[in-house]
Structure 1
């Protein structure tokens, strides 16, 4: 545990953290900063003294030995019409829980594509196109692109 605590101190986190041992292979890391939380989850995997340390968000019902299928994934909406930019997180919520937009999307410095980081379930199939409607009337077909979409296999091989 001292090695793990030292590793977390080396990350120069913005907020505080607490490390709690769950069993011989699992720890719970409580972070006070959402910025730290998102930074750690985006990276996902770390090597600590040659051992793999994998990070994922706590879920109700977590049990050691059962890996979560929920993972942060960048989703883009190429050519999203400017008038729909205010609804970006609502569109992204069709695929999971929106975490954040990228900087160029927030600042409108790149209008060719809007990107949102979303907690997606890797077990799910998602459409490559959505229909955006105004006042209940379909008005626009929007392409959706997943970046580095994770694949999930829940088959146990013995």
Structure 2
């Protein structure tokens, strides 16, 4: 059932949404899709974007944002737990693998290697062309609320699992995520919503104490 929405994205406008006709034309002009797309209005700020193939889904999603009708729209992967007032912690990030062995510069090797971290999406151009030997870079879908390992075991033998190396893993520009307001861009300690709610709570407690003292 959920598989029918596996190529669905959510577009979240930061301000007013343009008319749907303008939205559709601008989206198609900017994305150069291989397949079709259906765009549906959800509310005044959110839209559903149904793509029909994985290549289009990845290429659009990894843009992370677009400007449509002069308005910023954030692009996020859809999940069954989608709520309009929240942002998903599922994001695409670049993962760097310094001094990766030369024979490992291929998706069929890197996909299972990185599976404990997330879903490998694609290689950067220099890794794919093997024109840079110092590091490999892979775009990976991760959950930024989960712990990120600094290294992972890379085995060289199917028979002897002790032969291999600990491969260093570096994550580039991972956005912050607040578990309180469920938004990207700041930590729990810096959450303005949490600060506001705590301030309201303190005021109510102070008022309750004053009322109690007045009796």
Q: Which runs of 5+ in 1 are unaligned?
A: none
With 73-82 and 97-106 compared, the bigger mean Cα shift is at: 97-106
Q: Indicate which of 27, 35, 41 corresponds to 1:8.
A: 27
Q: Which residue of 2 aligns with 1:89?
A: 111
Aligned positions of 1:24-43 closer than 5 A = 24-43=44-63
1:36 positional shift:
2.5
The Cα shift of 1:32 comes to 2.5
Q: Structure 1 length normalisation: TM-score?
A: 0.88
Match for 2:170 among 142, 145, 155? 145
**TM score, norm. by length of structure 2:** 0.67
Match of residue 69 from structure 2: 49
Tell me, yes or no, if the aligned pair for 2:27 and 2:68 is still in contact at 8 Å. no
Does the 8 Å CA contact 1:89/1:116 hold for their aligned counterparts? no
Q: Using the TM superposition, give the Cα deviation of residue 138 of structure 1 relative to its aligned residue in structure 2, in angstroms.
A: 5.3
Return the index of the structure with the highest Cα Rg: 2
> SS in structure 1 opposite 2:110?
helix
Structure 2 gap segments, 5+ residues each: 1-19, 182-192, 197-215
RMSD over aligned Cα atoms:
1.8
Asked if 2 retains the 8 angstrom alpha-carbon contact of 1:100 and 1:118, the reply is yes
Pairwise CA distance, 1:99: 0.9
Q: Deviations over 1:24-79 (max 9, x none)?
A: 22111111343332222121111223322111111122122121000000101110
**More displaced 10-residue stretch of structure 1: 6-15 or 110-119:** 6-15
Query: Is the contact between residue 65 and residue 73 of structure 2 (CA under 8 Å) also seen in structure 1?
Result: yes
Name the count of aligned residue pairs: 158
Write out the 4+ residue segments of structure 1 that deviate beyond 6 Å after TM superposition: none
**Where is the helix percentage greater, Structure 1 or Structure 2?**
2
Moved more, 32-41 or 111-120: 32-41
